[in-house]
Structures are given as C-alpha cells and as structure tokens.
C-alpha cells in the first residue's frame, strides 16, 4: 500500500515543482541587478534553470503555466507587466520562444550521462542553456523587428547586444547551480 502511495506522490511532486519553477520565472521579472545601462534581470536565469532541472514534460508545463498566468493579466512578464497583448507586441516572440527553448533545453539537459561525471554534466548543462537562449533570440529578434517596424541594426541594438553578457553569465550560473540541485531534485521526484 505504501508503494502505491509513493507512486501517486511522484506525479503530484512533479506538478508542485513545475508550479514552483513557474513562480520562480515570474519572480525573476522583479529581480534586477543593476549592471550598466541594462540591468541583469533574472527571469531568463530561471527559465534556464527550469530547463536544466525539470524533465521536458514538467519543464513545458512550468513555462505553459507561466505564459498562461501572464496572459491572464498577472504582472509576471518582464517589467512587472501582464496581459495577452504582450504576445502581439515587440516582446511576444521572446515569450512564445520560451516554449521550444524550454523543450530543447530540457531534452538536452536530460541526455544520458555517466553517474558522477561533473565535467560532463557541466558541459551538457551549459550546452542546454545555450541552445535555449539561442532559440529565444532566433524567434524573438525577427518578431521584435516586425512588431516594432525597425531595421535589423536597430533590432540587434535593442534586443540582442545589451543582453549578451548578462545571458552568458546566467547560462554559466544556471549550468553550475543545476548540478547539485538536480541530484537532489531527482531523488525527490524520481526516487
């Protein structure tokens, strides 16, 4: 009987962690570290961390929940804003890009790896977060260009260049932090 209760608890625990990571992504919109003219906002850090820690299905649920509560009007998007209109504005491509970015990042992060190989885990984590970031830019930048009606030069100046260094820092931090966190999370969620 206890084993049956444990099996039921795992899906519930997965949903709880997916909701928790959705809340962390939401909170990241409010956490800004002032570094020069463009503050380092932690929202992408939590997107990367979610992809690295949660299995693809749970990571997808987490980002879908985040997008749903934001589109419902809760102020969880960058700058503490919300509403469905954000999907049709200049940042809509970045928001929608979180879906394939999360799936790809989580899939890569959960590739088979040797137990105990911290170097391999770090490289896989870095690669997974980097792919997630690249997908976000590949979808977000053209959307920004079209929605804002600006040139490619202006698009890159507004939507890429100010964020490259910050995203590299967030990718590295998430890749390192995910190693001990993932070990503990795997114990909790998957025995």
Helix pair 43-53, 118-148: axis angle to 10 deg:
130
CB contact at 8 A, 35 and 162: no
DSSP tally for the chain: helices H, then strands E:
7, 2
What's the pLDDT tens digit per position in 129-167?
A: 999 999 999 999 999 999 999 999 999 999 999 999 999
Write down the pLDDT at residue 1. Answer: 42
What's CA 99's distance to the chain center, in Å? 9
- Enter the DSSP assignment of 78: T
CB contact at 8 A, 95 and 67: yes
Helix or strand (DSSP H, E) at 33: strand 32-33
Write down the pLDDT at residue 114. Answer: 63
What is the three-class DSSP state of 41?
Answer: strand
Length of the chain: 191
Structure tokens at 31: 């956490």
Helix or strand (DSSP H, E) at 40: strand 40-41
Write down the pLDDT at residue 2. Answer: 45
Write down the pLDDT at residue 142. Answer: 98
Q: Which residues of the chain have pLDDT under 70?
A: 1-9, 35-38, 113-116, 191
CATH topology classification for 2-190: Arp2/3 complex 21 kDa subunit ARPC3 (1.10.1760)
- Enter the DSSP assignment of 95: H
Q: Point out which residues pair with 41 in neighbouring strands.
A: 32
Rounded Cα distance between 82 and 75, Å, is 4
Q: Where are the domains of the chain?
A: 2-190
Write down the pLDDT at residue 6. Answer: 46
């Amino acid at each position: 009987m206890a084993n049956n209760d444990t099996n039921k608890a795992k899906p519930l625990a997965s949903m709880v962690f997916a909701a928790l990571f959705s809340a962390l992504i939401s909170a990241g919109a409010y956490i800004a570290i002032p570094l020069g003219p463009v503050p380092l906002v932690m929202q992408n850090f939590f997107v990367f961390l979610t992809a690295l820690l949660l299995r693809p299905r749970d990571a997808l649920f987490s980002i879908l929940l985040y997008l749903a509560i934001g589109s419902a009007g809760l102020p969880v998007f960058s700058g503490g804003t919300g509403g469905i209109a954000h999907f049709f504005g200049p940042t809509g491509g970045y928001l929608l890009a979180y879906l394939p970015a999360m799936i790809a990042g989580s899939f890569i992060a959960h590739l088979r790896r040797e137990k105990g190989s911290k170097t391999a885990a770090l490289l896989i984590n870095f690669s997974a977060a980097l792919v997630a970031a690249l997908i976000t830019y590949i979808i977000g930048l053209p959307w920004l260009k079209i929605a804002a009606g600006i040139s490619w030069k202006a698009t890159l100046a507004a939507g890429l260049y100010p964020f490259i260094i910050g995203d590299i820092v967030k990718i590295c931090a998430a890749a390192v932090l995910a190693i001990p966190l993932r070990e503990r999370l795997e114990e909790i969620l998957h025995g």
